Amino acid sequence: NAGVTQTPKFQVLKTGQSMTLQCAQDMNHEYMSWYRQDPGMGLRLIHYSVGAGITDQGEVPNGYNVSRSTTEDFPLRLLSAAPSQTSVYFCASSYSGGAREQYFGPGTRLTVT
Amino acid sequence: AQSVTQLDSQVPVFEEAPVELRCNYSSSVSVYLFWYVQYPNQGLQLLLKYLSGSTLVKGINGFEAEFNKSQTSFHLRKPSVHISDTAEYFCAVTVGRGGSEKLVFGKGTKLTVNP
């Protein structure tokens, strides 16, 4: 199993550009989530999904969209990037059906200039 | 609302010394508690978890944690650290149940093990 994969590893965007961060897992996990990590802030939940077709907002959802058309994939879209979205983004999945025991991807480092 | 407080942002220790990383949570209901570790430039890895049962939980790499309900704490300990334990450690607690379950993280503690 590849586990949780994320692409790209690094990305530089200009303010106002859009892009999609990809996340995929091959463990048949129902629960998937996106976090952003900023220095001194820990990880903050952006959006999460408890299964295909079901998504919900986390703590910091503004400026981000998600969809979940398959169990495997959970892309995160930035519609109009802002410098405040400069961060490291982690995708995670869980087999427990809930938020417990999440497996994390390697992360995407995004810089918005 | 549930929250997690990691009392130390940075902890420097010497190799082979014991270490305790402190975590307190606020909750009025049953909780599930976790410690994750993040090595430099990597994702997070589950170190240990408390779901129910024994309050002393053993994890990977010789770490353990004790769930103390009366003090709402879940401190992480290791009796003798190695250079390779240098990493950032995050305490986390679940909030909600079922379809609305989420994980709330503390702000992290950077452990630096010096020779």
Chain segment A37-87, per-residue pLDDT in tens: 998 889 999 999 989 999 999 999 999 999 999 999 999 999 999 999 999
State the burial class of residue A102 (Cβ atoms within 10 Å of its Cβ: 0-12, 13-18, 19+).
buried
Residue B85 DSSP SS3: helix
Bridge partners (DSSP) of residue A80 are: none
DSSP string, chain A: ---EEEE-SEEEE-TT--EEEEEEESS--SEEEEEEEETTTEEEEEEEEEETTEEEE-S--TTEEE--SSSSB--EEESS--GGG-EEEEEEEESSSSSSSPEE---EEEEE-
Tokens of A54: 């079901």
Q: What is the pLDDT of residues B31-61, one digit of tens each?
A: 789 999 999 888 999 999 998 888 999 999 9
Distance from CA of A101 to the nearest CA of B (A): 7
Q: What is the pLDDT of residues A17-30, one digit of tens each?
A: 999 999 999 999 99
Contact B77, B64 (CB under 8 A): yes
Residue A43: per-residue pLDDT: 93
Contact A102 B98 (CB under 8 A): no
Contact B9 A105 (CB under 8 A): no
Residue B62 DSSP SS3: helix
Distance from CA of B61 to the nearest CA of A (A): 17
Contact A42 B103 (CB under 8 A): no
Q: How far apart are CA A58 and CA A71, in angstroms?
A: 19
Banded model confidence at residue B30, pLDDT cuts 50, 70, 90: low
Residue B78 DSSP SS3: strand
A26 touches chain B (CB under 8 A): no
pLDDT at residue B77 is higher than 80: yes
Contact B43 A58 (CB under 8 A): no
Q: How far apart are CA A10 and CA A16, in angstroms?
A: 18
